[in-house]
């Protein structure tokens, strides 16, 4: 039996999660699904310029696991670019120091860094808020 996948630490979430080649309609395109932790690996290595070990330490994984994550990410992006596919960023096995909160009154979704700040919605001041994280297995941070 395979060992369960260890959650990776992610501290960046993109505002835009879908990229489509110019002049093409998304509904007619095949798409490549890029996991959130794969995007984080590329961000740390290629944008922040950290070493593999520094990236692995930030994501709380081994250096070899980091290498596997970034290899998969770069392969997916290369395939999408060369074959004209859409890129959809979603899913994965990750934890974050941010908690995603949803307000039941105004439907605003926002992130907070400190769970003690989880008192009221910054838009409407309602206290009818709850954790909106989809990945319950890994995002236990919000429940503290």
Verify that 44 and 102 share a domain, yes or no: no
* Average pLDDT estimate for 8-24: 89
80 near 86, Cβ under 8 Å?
yes
- Residue 144: pLDDT band with limits 50, 70, 90: very low
Split at pLDDT 50, 70, 90, the class of 114 is low
pLDDT interval class at 116 (50, 70, 90): low
- Measured between alpha carbons, how far is 106 from 85 in angstroms, rounded to an integer? 35
Using one digit for the tens of pLDDT, what is the confidence trace for 36-46? 999 999 999 99
Residues 101 and 84 in one domain: no
Burial class, 57, CB count within 10 angstroms (exposed 0-12 / middle 13-18 / buried 19+): middle
What average pLDDT score do residues 113-139 get?
70
Query: Averaged over 6-19, what is the pLDDT?
Result: 88
Same domain, 56 and 84: yes
Question: Which domain, by its residues, includes 17?
Answer: 8-94
Read off the CATH number of the domain in which 106 is found.
2.20.28
Q: What is the DSSP letter of 45?
A: I
Domain contains 1 = no
| Each residue's pLDDT tens digit, 46-83 | 999 999 999 999 999 999 999 999 999 999 999 999 99
Measured at the CA of 25, the angle between CA 19 and CA 27, to 5 degrees, comes to: 90
Quick check: is 88 in a domain? yes
Full DSSP string of 78-100 = HHHHHHT-EEEE---SEEES-EE
């Amino acid at each position: 039996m395979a060992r369960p996948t260890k959650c990776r630490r992610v501290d960046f979430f993109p505002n835009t999660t879908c990229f489509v080649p110019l002049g093409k309609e998304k509904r007619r395109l095949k798409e490549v699904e890029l996991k959130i932790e794969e995007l984080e690996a590329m961000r740390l290595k290629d944008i922040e310029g950290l070493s593999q070990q520094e990236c692995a330490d930030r994501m709380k994984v081994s250096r070899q696991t980091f290498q596997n994550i970034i290899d998969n990410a770069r392969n997916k992006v290369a395939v999408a670019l060369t074959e004209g596919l859409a890129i959809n960023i979603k899913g994965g096995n990750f934890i974050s120091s941010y908690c995603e909160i949803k307000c039941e009154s105004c439907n605003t979704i926002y992130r907070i860094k400190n769970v003690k700040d989880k008192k009221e919605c910054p838009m409407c001041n309602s206290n009818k808020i709850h954790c909106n994280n989809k990945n319950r297995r890994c995002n236990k941070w919000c429940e503290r």
